[in-house]
């Protein structure tokens, strides 16, 4: 079943790539970027500076997106051989995934206790009650702080501090020193990725496969660390959505093992086959009427892959 799932994902990607090629490779749709990409902070000094510290609110969509944007901008020079406009940068998978979560309502408060993340309230609010938002913290802020530690941004005039959420503060870390003391192995993996891509000693022998290997090791480690930590957050989701979340987290292990390239175009092609809304009670895969056949197939494949993984231990 694992091979079947990967073949489906690969087929979906190839079909989309063919369509994209027919439309013309130079045409980049505006909605191919994460929502509000142009307005996200693109320089670290665009964030507020308070008490000799750059302060980033990771519980605001635009600011978390800004952390990603700084990663993309500062690593662009290492990916010039892999396409124009930084589209070959394999870090694109992270902000594009975050953009998909925002666009589909997965960062809003699923418990409906607050208006966080809703148009009627604070649309840009990222809810700490959102399982997706908490999982994503470990694929946004931890890579970002790993890059700071690896020297991707050079010598900074200020320390960087991440603001805590209103609740569950103990579930996260907030600075390089804090994260280094609490999750050293995870920080090591992200730091290693940025050292492979950005270190002067490795730059001359930079290979995309090496970078993908380090990136996926760190990516999978982030999910493995965060998954048990936020198990309780799944209770706020419908059963179909909670199951999909766990299926997706499991599936990333298999996608990562293929060294799937998370550049701009490939990630966009792949994400076209992810659900465009949250799953609700009554959604039964692969028979969700407002999802495409390919979306239903990918959901079914991820579910089967997870069940097989559980049955085989």
Mean pLDDT of the chain: 90
Share of the chain above pLDDT 90, in %: 83
The pLDDT tens digits of the residues spanning 239-286 come to: 999 999 999 999 999 999 999 999 999 999 999 999 999 999 999 999
- What DSSP letter does each residue of the chain carry, written as one string? -HHHHHHHHHHHHHHHHHHHHHH-TT---GGGSPTTGGGS--SGGGS-EETTEEEE-TTBHHHHHHHHHHHHHHHGGGGGGG-GGGTT-GGGHHHHHHHHHHHTTTTS-TT-SS-BTSTTSBTTBPPTT-HHHHHHHTTTHHHHHHHHHHTTT-S-SSEEEEPP-SS-GGG---SHHHHHHH-HHHHHHHHHHHHHHH-HHHHTT--HHHHHHHHHHHHHHHHHHHHHHTGGGGGGS-HHHHHHHHHHHHHHHHHHHTT----HHHHHHHHTTS-SS---TT--TT--TTS-HHHHHHHHHHHHHHHHHHHH-
Asked whether the predicted pLDDT for residue 64 surpasses 70, the reply is: yes
| pTM of the predicted model as reported, rounded to 2 decimal places | 0.91
For residue 28, the model assigns a pLDDT of: 64
Residue 199 pLDDT level (bands cut at 50, 70, 90): low
For residue 23, the model assigns a pLDDT of: 39
Share of the chain above pLDDT 70, in %: 88
The pLDDT tens digits of the residues spanning 174-186 come to: 999 999 999 999 9
Q: Domain limits of the chain?
A: 29-312
């Amino acid at each position: 079943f694992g091979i079947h799932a990967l073949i489906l994902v690969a087929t979906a990607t190839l079909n989309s790539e063919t369509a994209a090629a027919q439309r013309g490779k130079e045409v980049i749709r505006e909605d191919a970027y994460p929502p509000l990409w142009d307005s996200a902070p693109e320089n670290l000094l665009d964030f507020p500076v308070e008490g000799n510290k750059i302060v980033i609110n990771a519980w605001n969509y635009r600011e978390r997106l800004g952390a990603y944007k700084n990663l993309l901008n500062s690593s662009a020079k290492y990916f010039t051989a892999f396409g124009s406009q930084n589209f070959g940068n394999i870090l694109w998978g992270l902000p594009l995934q975050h953009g998909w979560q925002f666009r589909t309502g997965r960062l809003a408060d699923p418990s409906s206790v607050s208006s966080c993340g809703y148009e009627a309230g604070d649309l840009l609010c990222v809810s700490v009650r959102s399982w997706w938002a908490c999982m994503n913290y470990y694929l946004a802020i931890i890579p970002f702080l790993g890059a700071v530690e690896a020297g991707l941004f050079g010598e900074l005039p200020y320390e960087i501090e991440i603001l805590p959420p209103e609740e569950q503060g103990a579930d996260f870390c907030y600075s390089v020193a804090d994260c280094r003391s609490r999750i050293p192995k995870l920080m090591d993996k992200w730091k290693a990725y940025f050292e492979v891509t950005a270190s002067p000693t490795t730059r001359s022998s930079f290979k995309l496969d090496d970078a993908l290997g380090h990136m996926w090791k760190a990516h999978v480690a982030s999910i493995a660390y965060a998954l048990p930590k936020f198990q309780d957050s799944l209770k706020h989701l419908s059963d179909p959505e909670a199951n999909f979340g766990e299926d997706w987290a499991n599936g990333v292990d298999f996608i990562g093992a293929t060294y799937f390239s998370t550049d701009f175009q490939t990630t966009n092609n792949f994400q076209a086959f992810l659900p465009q809304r949250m799953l609700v009670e009554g959604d039964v895969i692969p028979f969700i009427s407002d999802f495409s056949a390919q979306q239903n197939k990918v959901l079914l494949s991820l579910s089967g892959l997870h069940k097989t993984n559980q049955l085989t231990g």
